[in-house]
Amino acid sequence: MAEAISELFDTRESERPAYTAGDQADFERLYEASYGKILGTLTAMLGDRAAAEDCAQDAFERALRKWETWQPIAPAEAWVHRIAINAAVSHQRKMRLREVGEVIRRIGRPGVAPDPQQLIESRDLADALASLPAKQAAAIVLRHYHGYTNRAIAQATGIPERTVASRLAVAKKRLRAMLQQSDGERGSLRLVAVSDVD
């Protein structure tokens, strides 16, 4: 097994084929020499042979369009590999977005939440929310004003559910601290409102 791996990645100059940018015959030779390796990489990345074949084909089409501009700074196979890996990453992103869209279509929109402006009774709460980092403020608004679950937020934003919970906990702690500093009875009422939304 170790010998097979070392043979796959052997980069001795004497065995490395020389390619000329823009030469059609060289590109065909590059395609024949590297397609199997690239397909193997993409299949391992994606776990789906058909998707890997699509991404490999896309990668070689992109490489062919840019073949005249290829610079032999790095080996041509490494260059095509990079293009193929980028194609696979793009494919994964598209699949995640499709999955989120399907989940949202399946579960439907959450019930109509009250207008966030009605929930924010004073300028102090609005200022406190605006002073949070954007990702924390978004988590608070999605969870407590729009009523999404942590799982739905995680799927919609493409982050782990634990990260959503962590952002919410930190944001609530910061909001409580900021609201405790606000004056009067309205501040303590808002503090109770933020605490009750758990």
Please report the pLDDT score of residue 165 as a whole number.
92
- Got the DSSP string for the chain? -HHHHHHHT---TTTSPP--TT-HHHHHHHHHHHHHHHHHHHHHHHS-HHHHHHHHHHHHHHHHHHGGG--TTS-HHHHHHHHHHHHHHHHHHHHHHHHHHHHHHHH-PPPPPPPHHHH--SHHHHHHHHHS-HHHHHHHIIIIIS---HHHHHHHHTS-HHHHHHHHHHHHHHHHHHHHHS-HHHHHHHHHHHHHT-
In whole angstroms, what is the distance from residue 63 CA to residue 135 CA?
A: 37
CATH of 116-196, one of 3.20.20.330, 1.20.120.1200, 1.10.287.130, 1.10.10.10: 1.10.10.10
**Cβ(97)–Cβ(52) under 8 Å?**
no
Please report the pLDDT score of residue 118 as a whole number.
55
Please report the pLDDT score of residue 57 as a whole number.
93
Q: In which band, very low, low, confident or very high, does the pLDDT at 114 lie, cut at 50, 70 and 90?
A: low
- Average pLDDT score over residue span 63-85: 87
Least confident segment among 15-24, 99-108, 150-159, 177-186: 177-186
Please report the pLDDT score of residue 78 as a whole number.
84
CA distances from 94 to 6, 26, 61, 90 (A): 34, 32, 19, 6
- Judged against a pLDDT cut of 50, whether residue 129 lies above it is answered with yes
Q: Where are the chain's structural domains?
A: 2-107, 116-196
**Average pLDDT score over the chain:** 76
More confident residue, 124 or 87: 87
Side-chain-facing half-sphere of 151: CA atoms under 13 Å? 3
Please report the pLDDT score of residue 191 as a whole number.
44
Token duo for residue 189: 């009422």
In whole angstroms, what is the distance from residue 49 CA to residue 127 CA?
A: 51
- Judged against a pLDDT cut of 60, whether residue 7 lies above it is answered with no
Range 2-107: architecture per CATH: Orthogonal Bundle (1.10)
At 14-68, the pLDDT tens digits run 444 588 888 889 899 999 988 998 898 888 888 889 999 999 999 999 999 998 8
At 174-197, the pLDDT tens digits run 888 887 776 454 444 444 445 444
Token duo for residue 7: 């043979």
Q: How far apart are the first and last CA of the chain?
A: 53
- Average pLDDT score over residue span 132-147: 80
Q: Is the pTM of this model over 0.75?
A: no
Q: In which band, very low, low, confident or very high, does the pLDDT at 77 lie, cut at 50, 70 and 90?
A: confident
